[in-house]
Amino acid sequence: MNKFFLNLGVQPLANNFLKKYSAKQPKYNLKLYFNTKSKMVSISKRIPSSVMFNSKYPYRSSMSSTMRSSFKQLSNEIKKKFNPKLLLEIGSNDGALLTHFDKDRAIGVEPCKNLAKITRAKRYYTYDDYWDLKLSSKIKKKFKEADLIYSANTLTHISNLNEVFKSINLILSDEGVLIIEDPSLLECIKNNAYDQFYNEHIYIFSALSVKKLIHAFDLEIFDIEKLDTHGGSLRYFIKRINNNKIKIKNSVSKQISTELKFDLANFLTYKKFGISVKKSKIDLIKIFKEIKSKNKKIIGYGATAKACTVLNYCNIDNEIIDYFVDTTPDKSNKFMPGKNIKIKRYEKTLLDNIDYIYLGAWNFKNEILNKEKKFIKNGGKFITHVPTPRII
Ligand code: JHZ
């Protein structure tokens, strides 16, 4: 049974960066639910994939050095541990992982045509379609089977998880390995990171919910790695239940018991999270208002999907944040979704004469603080809402 625990208000599409601000852009309810049986946390309103992931999708995986090195490290690990004959990546974005593999041993699936074009230009075989049974059987006809399927920050974006796993089952070889990675629900709750919820994130996975979900497809988790990426993610290594060649590592029961100890299986945890989020909103607004009452200048850093949730939930506009800076070409000179706040293409000089920077990309705090030593030396300060709203 789905039980409601938090209302994040009406939210625009988190990656809908408009050239001209319009108060009339489409907005949708963002309400969060916990399923007492499947232990899955999800949002209620499902926007069709074609509306969110199309030829104008701006998010690029390779825009930060943190993510570039994470993908490089993983590719080395995959080669060493599994040496796949064919790696299939679902949601290959701009090829941040794919391009570490030989061209004849790695193929991508990326429905956002603008992104698929980038890996195609680098001569990686990339299907610019949505991941479903039709596509899986099409790929199977050409490539037979994949002995490694990888998907980061993608499966949680697809409403029909039954079809997702049926399609994986169709093409994964008998001894094949599936690796998925996504933000960890445990970290999200612990850090009060309610901004992990936006209309693209239909689900936020926990080891508990993934275990239950994949069992129905005769799949099981055999290893879990904890990652710092995206504010704390989990990388699940999955195999077929009847593949006895791979042993199940302790990391799996360890993560499950940590989640159980934290009461992730219990609805009350989500109720409490909802209360903390409401307090986080009040405290963040208070910090912004105090700063503005002293006539100080605040800008945002990292025009993230997460920041879209925060700005729209807390109703923060250009009276508080002058503009955002971001390195992503397709976000430049556009507006934060739902808000009249401009995004400028990152340049160091945009930080001159700024007193405070709100970390839209708090998940890259170390990378950003390292990069902006001069700003800090000149007395500039950062603001974050994770785990609690504060000035750093
Ligand atoms: P970042 C997106 O979420 C959307 P977002 C998506 N739904 C998802 O699941 C996750 O990614 C994985 C910029 N930046 O990664 C680049 C700088 O400008 O937190 C990006 O626009 N300078 C697919 O949007 C943004 O910040 C920098 O120095 O929440 C980071 O976006 C750095 C480090 C980043 O994902």
Q: What is the pLDDT of residue 63?
A: 87
Please state whether beta strands 298-301 and 323-326 pair in parallel, antiparallel, or not at all (unpaired).
parallel
User: What is the 302 CA–ligand 1 centroid distance (Å)?
Assistant: 7
Q: What is the 3-state secondary structure (H, E, C) of 11-75?
A: EECCCCCECCCCCCCCEEEEEEEEECCCCCEEECCCCCHHHHCCCCCCCCHHHCHHHHHHHHHHH
Number of the ligand 1 atom closest to the C-alpha atom of 93: 23
User: What is the 208 CA–ligand 1 centroid distance (Å)?
Assistant: 26
User: What is the 175 CA–ligand 1 centroid distance (Å)?
Assistant: 34
Ligand 1 mutation pick, 16, 64, 115, 363, max ligand atoms within 8 A of CB: 64
User: What is the 337 CA–ligand 1 centroid distance (Å)?
Assistant: 14
Percent of the chain with pLDDT over 90: 99
Predicted confidence (pLDDT) per residue in 339-368, tens digit: 999 999 999 999 999 999 999 999 999 999
Radius of gyration of the CA atoms of the chain, in A:
21
Q: Measuring from atom 13 of ligand 1, which residue has the nearest CA?
A: 302
Region for residue 382 given its phi and psi (left: phi exceeds 0; alpha: psi -120 to 50; beta: otherwise): beta
User: What is the 346 CA–ligand 1 centroid distance (Å)?
Assistant: 13
CB 9 within 8 Å of CB 310: no
Kindly give, in sequence order, each residue whose CB lies less than 8 Å from that of residue 311, ignoring residues fewer than 6 positions away: 317, 321, 336, 338, 339, 341
Predicted confidence (pLDDT) per residue in 109-165, tens digit: 999 999 999 999 999 999 999 999 999 999 999 999 999 999 999 999 999 999 999
pTM given for the model: 0.97
- Residues at CB less than 6 angstroms from ligand 1: 59, 63-64, 153, 200, 230, 302-306, 326-328, 331, 346, 361, 363-364, 367-368, 371
Number of the ligand 1 atom closest to the C-alpha atom of 304: 24
For residue 204, what pLDDT band results from cuts at 50, 70 and 90? very high
User: What is the 296 CA–ligand 1 centroid distance (Å)?
Assistant: 26
CB 324 within 8 Å of CB 299: yes
Q: What is the pLDDT of residue 126?
A: 98
User: What is the 219 CA–ligand 1 centroid distance (Å)?
Assistant: 31
For residue 334, what pLDDT band results from cuts at 50, 70 and 90? very high
Predicted confidence (pLDDT) per residue in 295-312, tens digit: 999 999 999 999 999 999
Mean pLDDT is lowest, of 62-71, 78-87, 111-120, for 62-71
Q: Measuring from atom 31 of ligand 1, which residue has the nearest CA?
A: 304
Give the CA-trace dihedral at 119, 92, 43, 63, to 10 degrees. -70
Please state whether beta strands 219-227 and 233-240 pair in parallel, antiparallel, or not at all (unpaired).
antiparallel
Buried residues in 66-84 as b, exposed as e (16+ CB within 10 A): bbeebbeebbeebbeebeb
Q: What is the pLDDT of residue 106?
A: 98
Predicted confidence (pLDDT) per residue in 321-333, tens digit: 999 999 999 999 9
E strands, the chain, in order: 2-12, 27-35, 41-43, 87-90, 106-109, 125-127, 146-152, 172-183, 203-204, 219-227, 233-240, 298-301, 323-326, 342-345, 356-359, 381-384, 390-391
Q: For residues 346 and 74, what is the distance between their CA atoms, to the nearest angstrom?
A: 28
Predicted confidence (pLDDT) per residue in 245-264, tens digit: 999 999 999 999 999 999 99
294 residue type, one letter:
K
The count of other CB atoms within 10 Å of the CB of residue 384 is 18
The count of other CB atoms within 10 Å of the CB of residue 373 is 9
For residue 39, what pLDDT band results from cuts at 50, 70 and 90? very high
pLDDT at 64 over 90: no
